[in-house]
Structure 1
Amino acid sequence: MAKRKRSEQSMGDALNEILGKGPLSRGLDKVRVAEAWNAVMGPAIEKYTDRIYLENQTLYVSLSSSVLREELSYGREKIVRLLNEQLEKELVKELVLR
């Protein structure tokens, strides 16, 4: 029977190790992007946001207001930069407003 290595690490380090790899991290990134959108854009835009999802580093946002969609389309690069700053890593490369 093989002996187990006995190494101690904090619970936080263990969770970061587990969540930092594989499909769990991708799923958490999707949730974090939606939270970052709401934090960066604020409650006024949040109430017009119907659906947010991240796919292949492209963030798709469905908005219920065509006027708001047009206004936000002028600042796409700035919004992407602000989202990545909020997330503290570059998850979003492109923003598609629908």
Structure 2
Amino acid sequence: MSKKLPNDSPISDVLKAIIVQNKLQPGMDRVAVADAWKNLMGNGVNTYTRAVALKGNTLYVELTSAVLREELSYGKQKIIAMINEELGREVVKEVILR
């Protein structure tokens, strides 16, 4: 059974309970990581980004530019740190650039 919250609970607590109870966190993480990528990388990288997908703890980014892919591959750890900092917890552990 679900845990009943008091009627005077803040809406944030109610939403967290709904997310946990319905196991929605992985989907929320996928959306949040895609948004974080767009916000952190800026227009220059986003114009060459075809797809961003989170599967488990691995972020898959499909790029249309081989030169950009090579350049970003040198900063994978920084990308992971920036995205996790933006989300406030460790969601991404690996980045694969395609």
Shorter chain as normaliser: what TM range?
0.7 to 0.9
Partner of 2:44: 44
Q: Percent identity?
A: 46
Task: Report the TM-score, using the length of structure 1 for normalisation.
Answer: 0.88
Partner of 1:34: 34
1: CA distance between counterparts of 2:70 and 2:78? 15
Partner of 1:90: 90
Unaligned runs of 5+ residues in structure 2 are: none
Going from structure 1 to structure 2, the CA distance change for 1:69 and 1:15 (only over 3 Å counts) comes to same
Q: Which stretches of structure 1, 4 residues or more, deviate above 4 A after TM superposition?
A: none
Unaligned runs of 5+ residues in structure 1 are: none
2: CA distance between counterparts of 1:22 and 1:72? 36
Task: Report the TM-score, using the length of structure 2 for normalisation.
Answer: 0.88
Partner of 2:6: 7
Partner of 2:53: 53
Secondary structure class of the residue paired with 2:23: helix
Per-residue CA deviation, residues 12-48 of structure 1 (Å, 9 max, x unaligned), is: 3211221245531110100000000111111111111
Going from structure 1 to structure 2, the CA distance change for 1:21 and 1:7 (only over 3 Å counts) comes to closer
| Aligned pairs, number | 94
Partner of 1:79: 79
2: CA distance between counterparts of 1:6 and 1:78? 40
Going from structure 1 to structure 2, the CA distance change for 1:10 and 1:51 (only over 3 Å counts) comes to same
Partner of 2:64: 64
